[in-house]
Every structure is written in structure tokens, then in C-alpha cells.
Amino acid sequence: MKIHNASIIVLLRATSLLSSFSSAFISSSEDSKVLDLDEDLIIGATSVSVESSSAEFDHWIFQHSKSYSNDSEKKTRLRNWMATNNKIQSHNKRYAAGQVSWYMKHNEYSDMTPDEFADYFHLHNKVNSLEKVMGGFQIVEDTNSETNTARKLRGQTILTDTSEPLDYDDMGFVTAAKNQGNCGSCWAFAAVGALESVRAKYLFENDLLDDRTEALVVLSDQEMIDCAGANTGNYGCNGGWPKSAISRYTAKQNGVCSEEDYPYEAKDNLGCRTSNCENIPYTTFGKSKYVTSVRNNERSAPKIDEALDINPLIVAVVVEPYLDWMNFGGGIYNDPACGDDSYTGVNHALLLIGRGEENGNSYWRFKNSWGKNWGEDGYIRFERQWDLENNDGVCGMLRYGMTTTLDVVQSEK
């Protein structure tokens, strides 16, 4: 990514999100020396501005426990970090001016280029149909349906939003955000997140345990990666489909393992090892179902809300632009460049856990799997257009909503 000198000089002199750390870190860090950056990066920049940026970068390294093999690699990573810092400051000026509804921040991915970030989370391959991951099932487009050409067009059949605010995380039915790492396993994390929440909600609502903390057990994502294999339409760290994993693997088991017994490894080459753990009580689940008719190209915000009233939902989305997502910090995300109104190819899975309103703006809230330092403690909020129909919605979130249920009869045996 080419960095423009004038922009860097101006932005580095401006107050950055990390400027409060600079002076303290310069005096205390042994590594606060200015790296010998390429000439085209620093022509015209004052030594103070470059030193300040290098000091902030060193603090970021300390904060995220980063290490580099040599000065050449560190110089490359500093260059990437400065480009990210440039983007963050530029975007956040627009946020402060009220021009956008979400802000950006530094996190552990700030020294990557956007393409490196996409490679790390295996985001380059989009699912444009379910033929690959569903073993031959092909989506049939509904050519007779009308598609809204802009998300601002509202539905015509519903006049008022009657849905109440809802947050399963605040209710204690959602485990903390996890980190899938360098493995394309978002499908497993989204699926397991749904299982965890459905189980916890059922146990608490039926007075089967004393409190929510006993109901909420962290289940094994690694089991899903290892055991829901190619025969279920899933491919470990190379991608998969949550609905297929639940319906073709989990629903056929008598229970699943805990994270404690079967910890995450971000690998997919060690085979299924469920014999080494005991199934957690009340983890026999039914098949997963779509919220809307995918075959008929149905997309409906009201139906998503209706299903959300029952349980958290798995949602497939597209992550784009990469830089937006790489350093999303907070607020309500609604970039029109994310997704397509009529047909969105998806490359990521999230867990939809609630909806609410902030300063008159309605939103949906999602749990992601990129760690707690990303976004809002590992979560992201999308603009919620409660009456949107025949439109994929923000980042395509209305196209593939999936839910599951606890198999109560089998679980109680």
C-alpha cells in the first residue's frame, strides 16, 4: 500500500488514538529508537514526527506481545502500521464530525496489510452458492421477486417496529468472544456459539440449574473442526458451513465435548479425538434450519427478528472492505460497500445475539471470533433496518440466517 508523504506528516502531527502513551514509552523503552525507514516514506517528515510514530508502534508491540525476526521485518511492519494509523485517524475524523456511524482502532492486526489480514482469516474465497459446502444443493434464484436497489428503501407491509430490545449476552447466555487464529474456522465458532447459547437459555428457563453461570459451558470448537469433516460438507481450516456441521455431525451425536477437555489448536490435521473427553449434559441438538427460504431467494429482516426472539442465530456475511473490518473499533457499522443488495457472496460467519437502539439508531449485535481486542470486546453491531425485505442487508446478513434447537428428549435420557 503506497503511503502519501504529505498525509503522513499532517496526521502524525495530529492527536492520535495512542498519543497519550508516546512520551512515557519513549523514556522507558529500550527499543524506542527510530528505524531507518525507506527514503520515500519519510521525505519531508520531521524527525519528531517519525520518532513519535515509531514510539507509538513500539508501545503497540509491547501491548500486543509482538516480536519480529530482524530489523527488516520490523521496518516492514512499521510501514504497514503507519498506513493503518493513517487510515484510522482519517476515518475517525469523519466519525467525530458525524459523517459516519462507526469508528476504527488499533488491534493486534494493525501491522498487516488488508490482504494479509484476509489471508490470515481465509477470507479470499467467497461462497457464491451452497453447491460446494452442501454437497450439490444449488440455490434457485427467484427471478420474479423485486429487489430493493438501496438499503434505505423500506418495506411496505410493516408500519411500526414492534420488536423489543434484546441481548442474550447481557442475559448471560453467550460465552466470551474467542479467537479462531490463522485458521478458516469461523463456521465452527459460529455453530458452537449457537449451541452454547441455546443450551444455556434452555437450562435456565426450565430451572434445571441454580444460576446462569452454571448453565453456560464453553464447548469445543476443535471438536467441530476435527469431527465435522468433508463427509459433512466442511473442510476444517479451509472453510465450512455451520448449518451443515450441526445437521450432519452434531445432531447425530449423543453430546459434545467441552473446550476444557478438547481445547482449540487452530489445526485440522490431527483427526477426531472425542474418545478423550466426556460429553457435556444437555448437548444433544436437533438439526439446523434456515430462517428464510434460501431456495426461493427470500430475505427478510422481520423473520430474522422473529427467529432471534427464540434463540441466537448463526449468520453468514461478507467481510469487505478488508481494512474496514481489520480495524473496526465500535459504533454501528453500515458501509454500503459491504455486500450487495441482490446477491452477496459470503466469506464469514457470525453469531447474532441481540438488537437494540443507540441515540435513535437501531442495530443488531453480533459475536465475532477474532479475539476480545477486536471491535467492541470481540463484537460488532450492524445497522438494523427492521422492515427490510428482498434485500441482502448490511454485508449480506439477511441471506443465510440459521438456527438450531436442543433435542430435549435425547438430552434428558
Is the pTM for the entire model greater than 0.85?
A: no
Cell of 284: 444433544
Are residues 347 and 393 located together in one domain of the fold? yes
> What is the reported pLDDT for 49?
60
Q: 124 an active-site residue?
A: no
Calpha distance 32→58 (Å, rounded)? 6
User: Reduced to 3 DSSP states, what percent helix, strand and coil does the chain have, rounded to the nearest 5?
Assistant: 35, 15, 50
CB atoms within 10 A of CB 411: 18
CATH of the domain at 150: 3.90.70.10
Calpha distance 90→36 (Å, rounded)? 25
Q: Quick check: 178 and 220 in contact, CB under 8 A? A: no
Higher pLDDT, 272 or 125: 272
Is 110 part of any domain? no
Q: Report residue 143's pLDDT band, with 50, 70 and 90 as the boundaries.
A: very low
Q: How many domains does the chain have?
A: 2
Provide the residue range defining the domain that includes 64.
Answer: 5-100
Q: Report residue 48's pLDDT band, with 50, 70 and 90 as the boundaries.
A: very low
Cell of 229: 469433516
Catalytic pick from 186, 227, 257, 395?
Answer: 186
Three-point CA angle 324, 332, 13, nearest 5°:
55
Are residues 85 and 142 located together in one domain of the fold? no
Are residues 74 and 163 located together in one domain of the fold? no
In eight-state DSSP terms, residue 396 is G
Give the bridge partners for 317, in sequence order: 348
Which residue is listed with cell 474418545? 275
Q: Which among 308, 311, 310 has a CA at the least distance from the CA of 398?
A: 308
Catalytic pick from 91, 106, 122, 348?
Answer: 348
Is 108 part of any domain? no
Is 134 part of any domain? yes
Cell of 404: 438450531
Helix, strand, or coil (residue 333) = strand
Q: 348 an active-site residue?
A: yes
pLDDT at residue 158 tops 80:
no
Distances (CA, A) of 256 to 217, 275, 285: 11, 11, 9
User: Can you tell me the mean pLDDT for 188-214?
Assistant: 89
Cell of 171: 442475559
- Tell which of 100, 135, 156 closes a domain: 100
